[in-house]
Structure 1
């Protein structure tokens, strides 16, 4: 069984692939930073609640956008499983063509997943993560470019943290655009406000691309926005980690 690990700024997501469609997934917080020993203690018992034995895991792939955590996670997993995980990044070989020496592993994995799965034509991948990103990719695997904006939860936490009277709210669709109390006012801003930006960015990217792109959303809150618009064609919260799996499959023979 392959274990794919996506180390993000907010969460570390694990996905154990029993098959292409039978995927067991869970997350832990990325913060505070932990040592190798702390990760070892935390990871040692993480499989049991999901009915997985550590011996079921035969391969591990890690993608990370948090360099200080990468090595400690790798060492902890190696200590548990007694083999070395594969670490992938923007330089891991695939059919994706990009010219950036700054592309994050998550963006690269999103491009890989969009290209190798059953999506056709030009594509836009919207990642509703710690940052809100839009990645444009052509049908031949060439990356057209990226947009980076503040993530929705990041913006909400900043709004609540920097004001004296605004509360934490549940991120859900309000009953109307114009709110009648603080909670619904904030929900409208966070949901409809960001949705308007997302729809506007899709239109702008389509115009620049010269065609209607196929739009895939992923990330923690992508499922909140997909039902509210016809401009997002598919939502897959595991899109990024599927990209890590594909990178592993493309390169596993080269490391054995």
Structure 2
């Protein structure tokens, strides 16, 4: 089995592959103060509840945008799974032609998403990942990674509003039936929800115009993708497991180099 980690600033998505099939996946909080033993204990519980065993894990691949967590997960991998994990980063084979000014600046999550989308869908593509940040990645008809845009994520924007406006409460994000609301909570929900829908559609339309590809496929992933897609006019496909799919593709491209 392959154990894959997609480590974001807020959450870690873990997936277990058996013969290329994703058989289990979990989402846990990212905690750089957690120890290798602590993460192993958490995984042990999840494995046990799912009827899995550490001894069946043959390899591990990790994508992270949180550098402090790298030594923690590396130690856990070696101590409990007896393997040195593949880290997504410089030197790894991606098959991706990155036309960034400095390719080393590109986050591992954006690379993994692009690799997965190219393998799964026809180019050209716009890939939107709604995580701590909302990222937009653009792939042209030849499969070249052109670049994209980065905006503040929905979650941190909501939290900033709560922290900086003393009379506004912390809220759950839902789709409101109306934009003209008659109470504070609904008004905040409407403003945030439809504001981000509008942001996403505007950025996608501008990318299409700049790319001169009106029929480009738009793929959305991330925790809030399904909710936002309900009102978006530009999102074509919601793929919650896109990053885990990309990690499998990258593992298969690199596994023979470390044997």
Give the direction of change, closer, same or farther, for the CA distance of 1:90–1:23 in structure 2 (3 Å limit): farther
| C-alpha deviation, 1:57, in angstroms | 1.6
Aligned residues: 255
Q: Find the counterpart in structure 2 of residue 214 from structure 1.
A: 217
TM-score of the aligned structures, taking structure 2 as reference length: 0.93
- The match for 1:241 among 219, 229, 244 is 244
Q: Any stretches of 5+ residues in structure 1 without a counterpart?
A: none
Kept in 2, the 8 Å contact 1:61–1:87? The answer is yes
**In 2, Cα distance between equivalents of 1:104 and 1:71:** 18
TM-score by length of 1: 0.94
Deviations 1:171-205 (A, max 9, x none): 11101012111111111111101000100001000
Distance 1:186 1:140 in 2: 42
Give me the whole-angstrom Cα distance separating, in 1, the residues matched to 2:145 and 2:90: 12
What is the match of residue 94 of structure 1? 94
Alignment partner of 1:254 is 2:247: no
Unaligned runs of 5+ in 2: none
Q: Secondary structure at the match of 2:105?
A: coil
> 227-236 or 142-151: which moved more?
227-236
CA contact (8 A) 1:96 1:112 kept: yes
- SS of the residue corresponding to residue 170 of structure 1 reads coil
Instruction: Give me the whole-angstrom Cα distance separating, in 1, the residues matched to 2:112 and 2:79.
Output: 26
* Cα contact 1:126–1:218 (8 A) shared by 2: yes
The range that moved more, 43-52 or 155-164, is: 43-52
1:105 to 108, 125, 130: 108
Cα RMSD, aligned residues only: 1.5
Between stretches 26-35 and 132-141, larger displacement belongs to 26-35
Q: Does 1:224 align with 2:227?
A: yes
User: Are 1:43 and 1:77, in contact at CA under 8 Å, matched by a contact in 2?
Assistant: no
Superposed displacement of residue 20, structure 1: 4.4
Distance 2:139 2:162 in 1: 35
